[in-house]
Structure 1
């Protein structure tokens, strides 16, 4: 940083023709400019200026050094101006990671967000893989459940609950289960996590999931396909409430055993704690927290 300071003082003095004029442009004293240039000359081992009581002119070595130095200082000033613009207004690219079902939460919010912040570019990854936020260069990630990474800061966005649903047509044909044990006589559409290969457990209050018998000929690793199958009357699904809310509101899907299910989770937005919170990320966090459709 001291070398950069000396380089800037040298270029401004060469352009202004005096230490006093350079000092006025830089907002420092003339002696400070003179000392910075002197330290630069000492480190380079050459004299950059011919000095007299009335004038300041470049030496042959100084003229050669100035040709390169002025471009460096100009690029530094342009970089500072660009950074200042970034820090003063929300703009730039945000790289974000969400679980596969996260698009159900985010996509309804995108029209409003992009209209309000047109200079922010969102690079979105919807994947159940547990990404390395810092190592892979993500600006923020959405996660459910607990996390234990002291390098990350977090903002809790709200909670969700699991629900058991099927189409009205399915219930009219097969009847509605009145207790978890009744599921043994129903077609259960199961979900397999693509990352771990494990099946999503169906959790009911007071019931050991290991003793719960679930029958079904269809297993999915895609939530949309699973929901679509349930809408077509192929069976029951056990899913987060927000993922099927629109179909519950329309009556296309109907809940069962609601009073037996309290299992759920919390969503939080995480971001690297060792970085300055840029305006583009700050407004995204605030917008998501304000508009996301989750129970608080």
Structure 2
């Protein structure tokens, strides 16, 4: 006999308090339920049920076995449900937290293609540079740029972006060009106000040493596009990801401040709550992003 069927028959007898109700619950005959339970007891070599004319109850061994058997049956049911869910068409509301600069500049322009490909999915996108709590705040996933601080989340790397210090030719003509990292202390710097490190840049020197540059800066703002606009206007030097400055650099609107420095890179990740099952709508969105950004980064934007 099938082991799971034996387990199910036994657990149902315990749940229902007798063979008759268990048979009704399972949709089989009372004798079939009895055979399944007897076969289980014979295989285990232990009596699992106390049987009287009035009631049926689990023995001490039976109660311990019931706890484990019920867990196995629940897992088996969830496994069946998972397969069914993964074969259904992606649908429902997809709540996504997205890093603001990435969302505005790269995700928004292609979001229409995703919605046309999956008409049964509704996207609710929240742009935020703060790390939200996915589960407690009701998000299905997030797209984050930089180091992954929360090791409990499942992360899928989409691509990478370079990160460089850039400024307008007009700025360098007026204030000069920094030749080394220490020279930045004498320049006007443009900062992200949302960085946890404050107005401090971490830069790799040609020797490979990690250096820190701290300056009050001339402008502090919580939006990368605004920092790029300020740099283009000649207001100072900004430290930005390549997906923001790449087009401006191609047009000659900005230049790299210290070209000899090693290229800094940051990963761009799709992150999900912990667990082995990925909802079809989430899986569809991640696959879409991987396809769209397969040929992007670190400098190719």
The total of aligned residue pairs comes to: 233
Closer, same or farther in 2 for the Cα pair 1:29/1:223, shift >3 Å?
Answer: closer
TM-score under structure 1 length normalisation: 0.65
Change (3 A) 1:250 1:116: farther
User: Structure 1, residues 177-219: CA drift from partner, whole Å, max 9, x if none?
Assistant: 222233233221122226x472241413146645x46473222
The aligned runs of 1:126-137 (5 Å cut-off) are 126-137=127-138
- The aligned residue for residue 254 of structure 2 is 253
Contact 2:178-2:184 within 8 A present in 1 as well: yes
Match of 1:266 in 2: 267
Change in Cα spacing, 1:263 to 1:157, as seen in structure 2 (3 Å) is same
Please list, as runs of the form range in 1=range in 2, the aligned pairs for 1:96-245 lying within 5 A after superposition: 96-103=96-103, 104-143=105-144, 144-149=146-151, 151-193=152-194, 196=196, 198-205=198-205, 206=207, 209-210=211-212, 212=213, 214=215, 216-245=217-246
Partners in 2 of 1:197 and 1:185 — Cα distance?
20
- Say which SS state the counterpart of residue 270 (structure 2) adopts: strand
- Provide closer, same or farther for how the CA distance between residues 89 and 240 of structure 1 changes in structure 2, counting only shifts above 3 A: same
The answer to whether the 8 A contact 1:133-1:141 is kept is yes
State the Cα distance separating 1:172 from its structure 2 match: 3.1
User: Deviation per CA, 1:220-239, whole angstroms, max 9, x where unpaired?
Assistant: 22222211111111111111
1:116–1:249 Cα change, 3 Å: farther
Give the structure with higher Rg (CA): 1
Question: What's 2:89 paired with?
Answer: 89
C-alpha distance in structure 2 between counterparts of 1:94 and 1:180, whole Å: 44
Whole-Å Cα distance in 2 between the matches of residues 147 and 216 of structure 1? 27
Paired residue secondary structure (2:204)? coil
8 Å Cα contact 2:199/2:217 also seen in 1: no
* Distance apart, 1:248 and its partner CA: 1.4
**Secondary structure of 1:158's partner?**
strand
Go from structure 1 to structure 2 and tell me whether the alpha carbon gap of 1:200 and 1:111 turns closer, same or farther (over 3 Å shift): farther
Cα distance in 1 for partners of 2:286, 2:169 equals: 38
Q: Distance in 1 between matches of 2:167 and 2:95?
A: 36
Aligned position for 1:281? 282
Question: Which residue of structure 2 lines up, in the alignment, with residue 68 of structure 1?
Answer: none
Distance 2:201 2:95 in 1: 31
1:237 and 1:30 mapped to 2: Cα distance?
73
Structure 1 pair 278/202, CA: closer, same or farther in 2 (3 Å)?
Answer: closer
Distance 2:186 2:150 in 1: 41
CA distance in 2, matches of 1:242, 1:134: 29
Offset, 1:287: 0.9
Query: Which position in structure 1 is the counterpart of 2:65?
Result: none
Following the alignment from structure 1 to structure 2, what is the Cα–Cα distance between the partners of residues 274 and 235? Answer: 45
Gaps of 5+ in 1: 11-27, 36-83
> d(CA) in 1 for partners of 2:256 and 2:186?
17
- Is 1:166–1:254's contact at 8 Å kept on the other side of the alignment? yes
> Which runs of 5 or more residues in structure 2 are unaligned?
1-7, 34-83
RMSD of aligned alpha carbons: 3.8
